[in-house]
Structure 1
Amino acid sequence: MAKRSSLFLRIVEGKNLPAKDITGSSDPYCIVKIDNEAIISRDDVIGKVHITQNLLAEHPKGFSGWMNLTEIDPDEEVQGEIHLQMEKVTQGNTRKLRCTVFDARGLARKDRNGASDPFVRVRYNGKTQETSVIKKSCYPRWNETFEFDLEGPTVDKLCVIEVWDWDLVSRNDFLGKVVFNVQELESAQREEGWFLLHPDESKPRVDTGNLGSLHLQVYLRDEMVLPSSFYQPLIQLLCQEVKAGTKEGKVHLITLMDETTTAERRQDVAINLVKLFLGQGLAKELLDLLFKLELDKTSEPNTLFRSNSLASKSMESFLKVAGMQYLHRVLGPTISRVFEEKRLIELDPSKVESKDVGCSSLHWIQSESEIIQQSAQLLQSYLTDLLASITQSVKACPAVIRATFRLLFKRVGEYFPEEKDQNVKFVAVTSFLCLRFFSPAIMSPKLFHLRDKHADARTSRALLLLAKAVQNVGNLDAGISRAKEAWMSPLQPAIHQGVAQMKQFILQLIDIEEKEELDLQKALSLQTQVVKEGPLFIHKPKSKGPLLAFPCKKLYFSLTSEALTYAKMPSAKKSAFIPLANILAAEKVEEKSFGNSHVMQIIYTCQEGQADTVYLQCKCVNELNQWLSALRKVCVNNSAMLCSYHPGIFRGDKWSCCHQKDKTDVGCDKTRHGVTLKEWNDPLDPDLEAQLLFRHLVGVQEAMREKYEELVTVENRERVCLSQSEDPENVDGPIRLFQILLDLEEAHRKEVSRTRDGASQDQNCLVQLRT
């Protein structure tokens, strides 16, 4: 049994933000931080929004609304913990308060070197004592003890322990404090542990109200995932329903799920179903069933798969999960070309700005028509390259996707066999492949991990026009774009040619024999799943190891479901690897360690059985987070994962983070195995997907009961009652589902009751807005 918490945050928009640039505007972006991480940036910080766990508890279904940005007080920007021991002792006839300051971890970085120079100030009963200053460390270790008299006419109730960053020139920076009530300490009892540092809230907060606001959507979800055996009845029932398909007079369980799932939840349910059935090897069968159910409800071919039904959302999710590498291979070269060339492209005369006309040179003034003509040529070039990449990608397309498209093509052809509807089966394929897969990735390549950053305004417009062209090709009707957007007419020859290419490509894509499909599926099952890949730079401290001996500093890494491999080039044979079972931790590295940001460390067991560490630098913070997330997900079942680590490096004779002298000493900070990102290419986790489906089904079970009573016929009702009394296995899927849900609810109640007394750690979410 495992408890998994997920925080979903969507930053929708901002308004009334102050101007920070000399142009009278700002270039705003947001950073999300968890657990009181301090705000320190070289950019101008506009303000922050503080989301507490109490706010999330008040909105169990999620919070959506505007929140005002508040001014940032340096004394409130704290993070980290301090290890203390407080006790009352008696020495002769004198009673004393003894405070031992051991160490601290995760302190805020206040200096430009990426660290701080921390010391501790202990204040009690009008007296103050201080520790020594530990230079350049966010994980200092003091091991110093202070004593204060408890005798006297007036004795303070509170003892204040403050952590400060020492500065030679400017004033010291506040790093946080802990306050103890001395009277609550028993004379024969001492209190020891790690204590969260708190901000200085002695000054009243001032909400100026003129920093603007952010529109946020936030949802905190806790999932208690039971052992696999608890979910087997649910998984088996779903698989039986899919294998059985549709039957005359029978209410199908998938139909009830489709009818009772709201539009807001349909995407989540679709991805859960797709991942669950991919793990069971039945994704193609699930989608085929959804195709049939959707076709049964469709009478007009022009509306087929145009709505956001469960079938449409499931197919869309399936392509993202199973075809992301294929997408990168097909779109990657053209997307990179658009980003690198950064050409002005515009076909709509109303959007050609005056500043664009005549901007090419001092001697040649471009007219509006010339800009549009040049744009049409560039777009045609991009579209030609992209279509060539698509038409040559048949063998690169995963076998399970090809087989699914073949079923879709076949089913639609059976439902619409007339000659006038011959295009419908082609459009059914392109409605998913082009309109719901290729085009969204072209418009927002960052969301599909095709680029690290969002496009600038000019590149974004070029991508949008290219996506429109691909959509027109996917519609298989060159006249549609002329009717809606006449200014797209310069691309009509290229689109008309693309339609012919696309139809030929689809025929090749679905031309897969049963035996060939089985062979491809077998070969696919033998291949390891690639979770994450890309180039990384190696930092080589004075250490040994198989990877550190590699002659090249920049290597191409590939994280699969079995190992982390690397080679000199993507196409080169993998030279070495670290088995996933040998990985002990994947964590961030302090910026000051190598003088570079975005460095991670992978601690693993080498062939000699000893722990070793490799330090890898990513090109941006997003890439760093994606690599850490991917590594932690594939190692989620490793039993030997470390509980602590050193965020610095061992240089000379000590650790740069905590200054410990022993290289093999216990780490000074806790590892963060559970902190991951939700991505389309997450490793399949059948227990989690089953739990998410169970939670959804529990929420709609009353609506499913009502819908079942509405759909079931009188004759079928009699058959259900008879079969239920004679053979429970013949009972309709919905009836069996309701009993399974009751059993799972009871199992969860028992687990919740057993763990109710467990401590829960408060979490805060902080959204910063910078420019």
Structure 2
Amino acid sequence: MAKRNTLYIRIVEGKHLPIKDITGSSDPYCIVRIDNEAIIRTATIWKTLSPFWGEEYNVHLPPSFHTVSFHVLDEDSLSRDDVIGKVSITKETLAAKPQGVDGWVNLTEIDPDEEVQGEIHLQISVVGDEDVPTILRCQVLEARDLAKKDRNGASDPFVRVRYKGKTQESAVVKKSCYPRWNECFEFELDDDPPNSSLTVELWDWDLVSKNDFLGKVLFNINRLQSAQQEEGWFRLVPDKPKHSQHEGSLGSLRLQLRLRDETVLPSGNYQPLTALLCQSVGPNLNGNSPDLIMLIDETTTAESRQEVASNLVKLFLGQGLAKEFLDVLFKLELDKTSEPNTLFRSNSLASKSMESFLKVAGMQYLHRLLGPLINRIFEEKKYVELDPNKVELKEAGCTGLHRVHTEAEVIQQSTNLLQSYLSELLQAIVQSASSCPVALCQAFQLLYRRVSQRFPEPEYRKVKFIAVTSFLCLRFISPAIMSPKLFHLRDKHADARTSRTLLLLAKAIQIIGNLDTLNCCSKEPWMVPLQPAILLGITQLKDFITTLVSCEDSEALGQQEWMNLQCGSMKKQGFLLLHRTKDKSMLMTSPFKKYYVSLNKDTLSYARTQHSKKTSFISLPTIVAVEKVEEKSFGSANVMQIISSQDNGQVETLYLDCKSVNELNQWLSALRKACSHNTDTLSSYHPGIYKGERWSCCHQKDKADPGCDKTKHGVTLQEWSDPLDPDLESQIIYRHLIGVRQAIWDKYQEMLKSEGEENRETLEGDKKLEGVTKLFSVLQDLQEFHAAVEKEEMSKNRNFLLELQT
């Protein structure tokens, strides 16, 4: 049994942001923080006060997280980025809305007194008896992960303890966000009013300017007297928020958030549900009787369809039945479609499932297909425009020293460029027929054959091709061209000029995907200059599909590829800056060097070039910690460390400097997932470096010191290349089915009635209908398992509170 917190984040757009640049605009981007730890940085959208990001992430979080915040900044190339404002949403707010948060939220001013982070380790006790005055004793031990308030990337923290107007202060610990004091403060305890409190405050000491507030913890005196003692790590909280003078004037963000707090049961509990689902995609589906997948299809709402589709695809991939699942959905969609022109054009369960499948099975194929062309367009940054109403002659430049381009020349030049891009892309598609993943080929073969059987008439001969292109072009290739960052093809969004080029190219691919040779440019007549290239593309695409669906790959090869998809092994690679130290002090004279780093199933390898024969390896089972490094250590906020154990008992630390916070968290995420089953991992680590005979984070001189901060394993980014998690996928499907249980029953009864009362007994006796009855029984069993787990948790919490009181 495990607790899983998953936060879905979609940063949609912003509006009415304030002007920060002399151009009368801003260059906004977002930083997403979980309890003040930056985990995501969006792309910068240049020269706009109404940016659109459209970026979405799934983040796995520890159950102990408190807040997710979105900081909006204006990027400046010459000076420090300007802060615009923030939106903070607590875990309690998200948990109170299980359907999710979706809407516009006003940005608020960032108050330094509210920007606190970290924890403090305290031991507070009440001592004394009848003959001796009662003493309130506060032992201040240490603190960790404090905010960095000084320009040197650290703080000079001290503690201020207040009780009934009396104040005592600790010593100042210089240049540390992980200070240790081990000081004791005592106050004589009087008869206190009900609401009297002990306040422990942390401050950053400054010699010249005003001390900076780092956070505080409050304790109720009456509760302390009842418990006699409290010890542990306490989270620092901000001071009382001040009224903002900029309320409502900083613009707003449109966010979509959904928190899933799942209790995942042991695998055995989900086996009956998995078995039922697998039976429902067998080869003998009877379309005349209600089936479990059919009932799920009919009762899934638009709001939950994407999540249900994604998890069903993953579940059936894990069971080796993804082809069969997609085939069932194809048949269900075709059975209820009478007009072939609308086939797979809606956001049905079949369409969403095929989309999810393409991202799992075809993402690497997509990168090989589009990568070179997308990179070319980004590098050339040519001005491209076909619409006369949008042509900007000053953007197009001059033909010579004195003459500006005419509108006709701009359109002709744009046509030539787009034809060149389109020709390169279509050539890549045609040549990819032999290298297209077998899993994709087989899925498209199933789709092609099902549509051919459903619409065999000669007048519908194009429909089987359009069914394939509706997914391949309209839902996969074209969206990736329009938004390459969202498909991991580029690190950043395109600028306005490049974005327009990508949009026009995506439109051309959409027109080709529609396979309409007669009216290919009727909706947008200004696309007519591309008509010859589009008509040629339609012919090339049809030939490509014919080759794709007729390829006779060996069954063994196909099965092997499907097995690889089921394993979902995490792979990651790319150039990073690397620094290695083997049981020695950090040598700052040894700079980071560029290496090509590859994460595979069993090893992390690195070499000076991608194809170098001289390669170094770290065996994944030897990794004992994967953590971030303090910014002040190397002057970079995006450094991580990989600590591995050696045969001689010593440790080796590998430092990797990433280009951005996104790349940092992707590598952290991938490595933590790959090492999730490692044993003998560290429970604490040093976020700093060992330099000058001491640790930079806690100033301890012993290099073998166990560490001043606890290791973190909870914040990871979920990506399309994630390993499958059968238990979590089954749990999400179970939760969905519980939510639509009544709708399934109603739909089931409706289907029975539609067969006629005279056949009802026969239908109910049919073994194929037993699945619905079994489903309710399985759901009931899972509900009881969850209830038992919740009861056990409540019992543990109750016993813990009783122990505190005694």
Structures share a fold, TM > 0.5? Answer: yes
Q: Could you tell me which residue of structure 2 aligns to residue 589 of structure 1?
A: 629
Q: Does 1:7 align with 2:50?
A: no
Matched, 1:555 2:595: yes
Aligned match of 1:450: 489
Q: How many residues align?
A: 751
Distance 1:506 1:96, change over 3 A: same
Instruction: Find the partner of 2:262 among 204, 208, 223.
Output: 223
Deviates more, 1:711-720 or 1:395-404: 711-720
Which residues of 2 match residues 681-692 of structure 1 at below 5 A? Answer: 681-692=721-732
2:579 pairs with 539, 542, 563, which one? Answer: 539
2:334 to 295, 303, 307: 295
Residue 501 (structure 1) aligned with residue 544 (structure 2): no
Work out which of the residue numbers 219, 230, 240 in structure 2 matches 1:201.
240
Residue equivalent to 2:52: none
Query: Do the aligned partners of residues 198 and 422 (structure 1) sit closer, same or farther apart at CA in structure 2, a change above 3 Å counting?
Result: same
2:210 corresponds in structure 1 to 171
Summarize the Cα distance change of 1:348–1:36 in structure 2 as closer, same or farther, 3 Å threshold.
same
Query: Contact (CA 8 Å) 2:629, 2:639: kept in 1 or not?
Result: yes
Residue in 2 that maps onto 1:765: none
Deviation of 1:477 (Å): 2.6
Q: Secondary structure at the match of 1:216?
A: strand
Amino acid at match of 1:674: G
SS of structure 2 residue aligned to 1:534: strand
Q: What is the root-mean-square deviation of aligned Cα atoms in Å?
A: 3.0
One of 711, 722, 727 as aligned partner of 2:765: 722
Choose from 642, 645, 662 the match for 2:682. Answer: 642
Distance 1:361 1:221 in 2: 61
Distance 1:367 1:141, change over 3 A: same
Tell me, yes or no, if structure 1 residue 324 matches structure 2 residue 363: yes
Cα deviation code 1:706-756 (max 9, x no counterpart): 111111334653235435xxxxx6553222212111111111111111113
Q: Distance in 2 between matches of 1:567 and 1:525?
A: 30
Alpha-carbon distance in 2 for matches of 1:541, 1:594: 14
Q: Contact conserved, 1:530 with 1:558, CA < 8 A, in 2? A: no
Change (3 A) 1:173 1:427: same
**Structure 2 CA distance, aligned partners of 1:134 and 1:455?**
46
- Aligned partners of 1:188, 1:415: CA distance in 2, in Å? 73
Return the alpha-carbon distance in structure 1 between the equivalents of residues 214 and 136 of structure 2: 24
User: In structure 1, how many angstroms separate the alpha carbons of the residues matched to 2:514 and 2:476?
Assistant: 14
The answer to whether the 8 A contact 1:139-1:657 is kept is yes
Answer whether contact 2:86 2:109 (CA < 8 A) is retained: yes
Percent identical residues = 62
**TM-score, reference length from structure 1:** 0.91
- Aligned twin of 2:660: 620
In structure 2, stretches of 5+ residues that fail to align are 38-68, 74-79, 799-806
Matched to 1:719, the amino acid is: T
SS in 2 for 1:483: coil
2:446 pairs, out of 402, 407, 431, with: 407
**Aligned pair in 2 of structure 1 residues 96, 749: CA closer, same or farther (>3 Å)?**
closer
Contact 1:253-1:734 within 8 A present in 2 as well: yes
CA distance in 2, matches of 1:600, 1:741: 44
Once residues 605 and 168 of structure 1 are traced to their aligned partners in structure 2, the CA distance between those partners, rounded to angstroms, is 43
SS at 2:446 equivalent: helix
Does the 8 Å contact 2:393/2:410 carry over to 1? Answer: no
How has the CA–CA distance of structure 1 residues 151 and 719 changed in structure 2, closer, same or farther, with 3 Å as cutoff? closer
Partner residue of 2:395? 356
2:290 is aligned to 251
Output the CA distance in 2 between the equivalents of 1:333 and 1:348.
27
Measured in 2, the distance between the counterparts of 1:218 and 1:539 equals: 38
Aligned residue identity for 1:444: S
Give the SS at the match of 2:281: helix
Distance 1:221 1:608 in 2: 43
Distance 1:183 1:135 in 2: 35
In 2, the alpha carbon distance for the partners of 1:496 and 1:722 equals: 56
Q: Matches of 1:544 and 1:379 in 2, distance apart?
A: 57
Question: Which amino acid is the alignment partner of residue 719 of structure 2?
Answer: E
Shift of 1:437: 0.7
Query: Residues 68 and 214 of structure 1 are in contact (CA less than 8 Å); yes or no, is this contact kept in structure 2?
Result: yes
Distance in 1 (alpha carbons) for counterparts of 2:458 and 2:544:
21
8 Å Cα contact 1:720/1:732 also seen in 2: no
CA distance in 1, matches of 2:512, 2:244: 57
Measure how far apart 1:496 and its partner are. 1.9
Kept in 1: contact 2:570–2:722 (CA 8 A)? no
Q: Is the 8 A contact 1:7 1:219 kept in 2?
A: yes
Q: Which residue of 2 aligns with 1:74?
A: 112
Q: Is the 8 A contact 1:14 1:215 kept in 2?
A: yes
Contact 2:438 2:561 in 1 (8 A): no
Q: More displaced, 198-207 or 661-670?
A: 198-207
Query: How many Å separate the matches in 2 of 1:716 and 1:676?
Result: 53
Q: 1:698 aligns with which of 738, 755, 766?
A: 738
Equivalent residue letter for 1:83? H
Q: Which residue of 2 aligns with 1:436?
A: 475
Question: How has the CA–CA distance of structure 1 residues 497 and 544 changed in structure 2, closer, same or farther, with 3 Å as cutoff?
Answer: farther
Check 1:618–1:479 CA distance in 2 against 1; reply closer, same or farther (3 A cut): farther
The SS at the match of 1:135 is: coil
Query: Partner of 1:355: helix, strand, or coil?
Result: helix
* C-alpha distance in structure 2 between counterparts of 1:127 and 1:678, whole Å: 50
> What displacement does 1:159 show?
3.0
Q: Within 1, Cα distance between the matches of 2:72 and 2:444?
A: 50
Which of 43, 61, 78 matches 2:81? Answer: 43
Q: CA deviation at 1:759?
A: 6.6
Partner of residue 638, structure 2? 598
Q: Distance in 2 between matches of 1:509 and 1:154?
A: 80
- Match in the other structure for 1:768: none
* Pairwise CA distance, 1:8: 2.4
Partner residue, 2:26: 26
C-alpha distance after superposition, 1:459-497 (max 9, x if no partner): 111111111111122222344431111111121222222
How far did 1:573 drift? 5.7
- Return the alpha-carbon distance in structure 2 between the equivalents of residues 758 and 341 of structure 1: 63
Q: Which residue of 2 aligns with 1:463?
A: 502
Instruction: Provide the secondary structure at the position in 2 that maps to 1:633.
Output: helix
Cα deviation, 1:293-318, whole Å, max 9, x if unaligned, reads 11212222222211111111111110
User: 2:522 aligned with 1:483, yes or no?
Assistant: yes
Structure-2 residue corresponding to 1:54: 92
State the distance in 1 between where 2:490 and 2:670 align. Answer: 17
Residue 522 of structure 1 deviates from its aligned partner by 2.5
Determine helix, strand or coil for the equivalent of 1:597: coil
Contact 2:382/2:498, CA 8 A, preserved across alignment: yes
Deviations 1:127-179 (A, max 9, x none): 43333332322111222233344579999943322211122332221111122
- The Cα of 1:83 is off from its aligned counterpart by 0.8
**Corresponding residue for residue 662 of structure 1:** 702
SS at match of 1:306: coil
| Structure 1 runs not aligned, ≥5 long | 724-728, 761-771
Normalised TM-score (structure 2): 0.87
Q: 1:742 aligns to what?
A: 780
The alpha carbon displacement at 1:63 in A equals: 2.6
Query: More deviation in 577-586 or 290-299?
Result: 577-586
Among residues 175, 179, 198, which one is paired with 1:136 in the alignment?
Answer: 175
Is the Cα contact below 8 Å between 2:583 and 2:651 reproduced in 1? no
Contact 1:600 1:617 in 2 (8 A): yes
Aligned to 1:356, the other structure's residue is in SS state helix
2:716 maps to: 676
2:413 maps to which residue? 374
Once the two structures are TM-superposed, the CA of residue 418 in structure 1 deviates from its matched residue by 2.9
Following superposition, the deviation at residue 758 of structure 1 comes to 6.1
The residue type equivalent to 1:717 in the other structure is: R
What is the CA deviation profile of residues 203-222 of structure 1, one whole-angstrom value per residue up to 9, with x for unaligned ones? 56667333233333332221
- Give SS of 2:722's match: coil
The 3 A distance-change label for structure 1 pair 244 and 141 is same
CA offsets per residue over residues 368-396 of structure 1, 9 Å max, x none? Answer: 11111111111111112222222222343
CA distance in 2, matches of 1:168, 1:699: 60
User: Aligned-pair distance for 1:104?
Assistant: 0.7
Whole-angstrom CA distance in 2 between matches of 1:259 and 1:156:
56
